[in-house]
Structures are given as C-alpha cells and as structure tokens.
C-alpha cells in the first residue's frame, strides 16, 4: 500500500473529518503559537530561521520550527497526523508539490480559502502558472506556493571551445544536443569513458518528468481525468534516452558515474570536467560559485524536439500546506503569506536565483543583467513551463516512469509496452479514488 493510501486510511480510522478539524481550528484562531516543519539545512535553514525570528518579533507570535528533511515522503507526516498531532504548517521542497497535491485530493490537507480570505489574500496577484497548482478540481485552495525553480542546460565554456564549438550558440534542439554531446565526448583507448558530453538521466534529468515534459508529453488530462502515458512524445523521450545507453553502454556509464559527487560537492562531474553539459536547477549556479568558482559556464533553456515544449521546464515549486487536523491553521497561513513576500524572500532569491510567484516585480530582487537569471525568467515565463501530472496518482506515476526509464536504458525494453501497462495500472487506481 502506498504512503498516500495508508494516510487516507488512517484519516478515516482516526476520524479526522473536515468538520472535526474546523472546530478545533476555530477554537485556536487567536493562538499566538504554531508549529512549522521546514525541509532544509545549510544556508537555507539559516535564512529560514532569520525569517522566522523577524516574524516573531514583528507579530509577537511563537513559531515552533522543526527541521524535518523529506518530511512528506519519509512517513513522519503520516505518523503525526495519525497520532493526532500534526504540524500546523509544512513547507514542501521542490517536487514535493506533486505529493502535496495528491494528499489534498484525498482529503489529507485542510482547505485554505477561509484562512486566506481572512488574511486579505488575492489570488489574482499570483502568476497564472502557479494557480492551477493551488486548487483542486472542487475549486478549493489547498496549496500556497512560496517560490519556484526551473531547470536549465548548463554547459562548460572551455570544453566547448576546446571542441571547436561556439559557446554563444548552445544547442536548442534534441538533434543539436546529440551532435554537441558527441563532439564533447572522449573515450580512452580501451573503450572506457574519459569525458561525456551529456548524460540525460543525471541531475535534473533524473526527475521522471523532465524529459517527457520537454518532449511534449501530456501524462494526465484533468478535463477527462485520463492518464496518458503510451503516446508518441513519451515513447520518443524514452527511446532518445536509450540512444545514449546504446551508444556508450549503460554499464560503462554507470561505472563512470559511480564516483560522482552530488550537486553540492566539488566532485560533481560538471565541476570536475567529466561531464560537459548537464541539466540542473537555477540554484546550481550558486553551488558552482561555492564549490567550483573557476569553472566557466553558461546556461540555456533545455533543448527540445520540434514537436516538444520549447524553452520550457517543469517547475520545482516550494509549497506551504496545512495538514488535516492542524490546531492553528490561521496563524500558519498568516506566516506563510508573510514568508512568501518578495521583500522577505529577496535574500534567498538573491542567492539561489529562484522565482517569485507574484505578478508584480520587486526591486528587492537584484539579478538585473545576470545571464543566468535572464534565462531563468525566460524559461519561467514560457507558457509551456508548468507542473505536470496534477493528479492524485502523481507520486505513483513518478515511480512508474522511473522504473520504466531504468528498464529501457539498462535492458533496452520496449517503452510502449511498459507505458501501456503503467497507464492501465494508474488509471485503474485513479478510478477507484
């Protein structure tokens, strides 16, 4: 049984109904204390604690802040709800928005409309690309975005020039990406890999939605409530990834990547020059500044095929939500609306180059004439950028797509058959919810 299914069962068994929750919330409306789970350590934790301290001083509110890494996915939230002691507010990191959306669709989150109205919130001030994420098909609001991130193609300027490529003209199509990747790849005499131009399934490419989205896949139609996986664009994305496995041998690639460090490590392959191009978030620019300041790089929009989504990205949106049974949701939402203001987020955005959710531009954001941030905004403002698979089975869909990718690149299995099987499985599960 999935995490979400377990959670819903527990909600039923423990009687965490909407009416019960509302009555407990009402009795705590004027409380000056609430519990907040946040997902980050490091510099982001330091910044969040400063935000909390400023809010406590300004509003006279006590915020019981708890660092809970992977709080949605590791079972802690489920345990807290089932034990009758959920936090009042949770901040989900990046792609946690999909799981939060799934939780909302199954009654595990509090609707926020009344609390947002009480706080004077106007949803028309939010960029259109984030409003579909906030609401369920019933029209109620369950999710409040904080800020967001997009993925970009990072490429090494020195390696481009050494290969006779023009760093001012990065690849924009999949065909160009393949040609450039091959020109940047170096193999040793024994056939082992010295340098790879590109690996589709590392960094943001590991996200199961990145490449299907770029190729134009639908995945889910909210109008018909139909899962759509076995379609040409989806099949093409998997076959394209498999072409790299066939060309360079998936086991050799696996061996080559086994010693790589993560994004916040000087051993990351882009920083060591082992990989010439990679797809990663806007925040990776700051990781490069910290761990590899001598690396000369540029960024571009993720390449796409002619029928795909040009200059687009899947959004990685950080989201606030209130779990079912929270004791002080109004205080939680008041803080969330304070915390997602540009003037409060500016210090964070000015480090990580993340994206404000607000239509109105803020002078507090200081990335004018920055090549990376210009590209970030170009991608973020694309009508083709978005939040894929907003459905109650989004989490399961991601797991299915990851499994299919591995079967395709390591075993060269037919993606169409695998996708049809997963499509039927997910549709059956969706129809039962």
Same domain assignment for residues 164 and 133:
no
Residue position matching structure tokens 């190729």: 215
Compute the distance between CA of residue 410 and CA of residue 230 in angstroms, rounded to an integer.
20
Same domain assignment for residues 84 and 115:
yes
Q: Residue 30 gets which letter from DSSP?
A: T
Same domain assignment for residues 114 and 56:
yes
Strands 186-187 and 297-300: unpaired
Residue 387 lies in a domain: no
Same domain assignment for residues 68 and 179:
no
Query: Which are the contacts of 214, defined by CB distance < 8 A and separation ≥ 6?
Result: 237, 302, 303, 304, 305, 308, 309, 312
pLDDT average per 10 residues of sequence, the chain (433 residues):
51 43 46 92 91 97 93 77 93 88 89 98 94 92 97 99 98 99 96 96 97 98 95 99 96 92 95 98 97 98 98 97 97 97 92 94 91 96 94 92 98 98 98 86
The token pair that represents 111 in the structure block: 């609707």
Residue position matching structure tokens 């069962």: 9
Compute the distance between CA of residue 376 and CA of residue 121 in angstroms, rounded to an integer.
27
Of 408, 5, 29, 23, nearest to 240 by C-alpha is 408
Residue 176 lies in a domain: yes
Residue 286 burial (CB count, 10 A) = 18
Same domain assignment for residues 74 and 204:
no
DSSP codes of every residue in 69-86: TTTTTSSHHHHHHHTT--
Per-residue model confidence (pLDDT) at position 28: 56
Same domain assignment for residues 215 and 120:
no
Domains held by the chain: number:
2
Per-residue model confidence (pLDDT) at position 62: 97
SS3 at position 346: helix
Per-residue model confidence (pLDDT) at position 424: 99
Residue 122 burial (CB count, 10 A) = 8
Residue 385 lies in a domain: no
380, 409, 424: which is the final residue of a domain? 380
Same domain assignment for residues 267 and 369:
no
The token pair that represents 339 in the structure block: 């915390």
Residue 386 lies in a domain: no
Residue 189 lies in a domain: yes
Per-residue model confidence (pLDDT) at position 27: 41
Same domain assignment for residues 414 and 362:
no
Same domain assignment for residues 401 and 375:
no
Same domain assignment for residues 297 and 328:
no
Compute the distance between CA of residue 182 and CA of residue 402 in angstroms, rounded to an integer.
25
Compute the distance between CA of residue 372 and CA of residue 351 in angstroms, rounded to an integer.
12
Residue 158 lies in a domain: yes
**Residue numbers of the domain that contains 117:** 3-148+315-380
Same domain assignment for residues 141 and 107:
yes
Please state the length of the chain.
433
- 32 phi/psi in degrees, rounded to 5: -105, 25
Q: Give the domain CATH number at 19.
A: 3.40.190.10
Residue 203 lies in a domain: yes
Same domain assignment for residues 176 and 256:
yes
Compute the distance between CA of residue 213 and CA of residue 312 in angstroms, rounded to an integer.
9
Residue 410, burial from CB neighbour count under 10 angstroms (0-12, 13-18, 19+)? middle
């Amino acid at each position: 049984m999935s995490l979400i299914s377990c959670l819903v069962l527990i909600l039923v068994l423990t009687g965490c109904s909407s009416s019960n929750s509302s009555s407990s919330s009402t009795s705590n409306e004027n409380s000056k204390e609430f519990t907040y789970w946040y997902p980050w350590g490091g510099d982001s934790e330091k910044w969040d604690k400063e935000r909390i301290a400023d809010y406590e001083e300004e509003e006279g509110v006590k915020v019981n802040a708890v660092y809970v890494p992977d709080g949605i996915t590791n079972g802690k939230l489920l345990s807290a709800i089932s034990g009758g002691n959920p936090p009042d507010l949770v901040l989900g990191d990046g792609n946690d928005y999909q799981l939060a959306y799934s939780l909302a669709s199954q009654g595990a989150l509090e609707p926020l409309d009344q609390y947002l109205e009480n706080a004077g919130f106007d949803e028309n001030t939010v960029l259109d690309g984030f409003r579909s994420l906030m609401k369920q098909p019933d029209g109620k609001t369950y999710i409040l975005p904080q800020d967001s991130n997009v993925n970009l193609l990072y490429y090494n300027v020195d390696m481009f020039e050494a290969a006779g490529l023009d760093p001012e003209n990065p690849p924009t199509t999949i065909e160009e990406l393949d040609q450039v990747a091959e020109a940047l790849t170096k193999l040793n005499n024994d056939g082992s890999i010295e340098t790879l131009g590109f690996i589709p399934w590392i960094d943001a490419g590991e996200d199961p939605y990145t490449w299907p989205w770029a190729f134009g896949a639908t995945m889910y139609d909210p109008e018909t409530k139909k899962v759509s996986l076995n379609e040409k664009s989806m099949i093409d994305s998997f076959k394209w990834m498999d072409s790299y496995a066939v060309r360079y041998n998936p086991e050799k690639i696996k061996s080559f990547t086994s010693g790589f460090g993560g994004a916040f490590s000087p051993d990351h392959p882009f920083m060591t020059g082992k990989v010439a191009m990679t797809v990663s978030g806007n925040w990776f620019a700051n990781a490069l500044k910290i761990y590899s300041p001598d690396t000369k790089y540029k960024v571009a929009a993720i390449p796409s095929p002619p029928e795909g989504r040009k200059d687009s990205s899947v959004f990685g949106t950080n989201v606030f939500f209130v779990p079912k049974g929270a004791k002080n949701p109004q205080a939680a939402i008041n803080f969330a609306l304070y915390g997602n203001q540009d003037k409060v987020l500016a210090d964070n955005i000015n480090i990580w180059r993340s994206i404000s959710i607000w239509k109105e531009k803020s002078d507090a954001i200081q990335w004018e004439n920055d090549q990376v941030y210009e590209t970030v905004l170009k991608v973020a403002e694309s009508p083709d950028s978005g939040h894929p698979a907003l459905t109650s089975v989004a989490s399961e869909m991601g797991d299915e797509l990851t499994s299919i990718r591995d079967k395709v690149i390591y075993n060269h299995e037919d993606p169409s058959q695998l996708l049809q099987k997963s499509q039927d499985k997910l549709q059956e599960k969706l129809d039962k919810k």
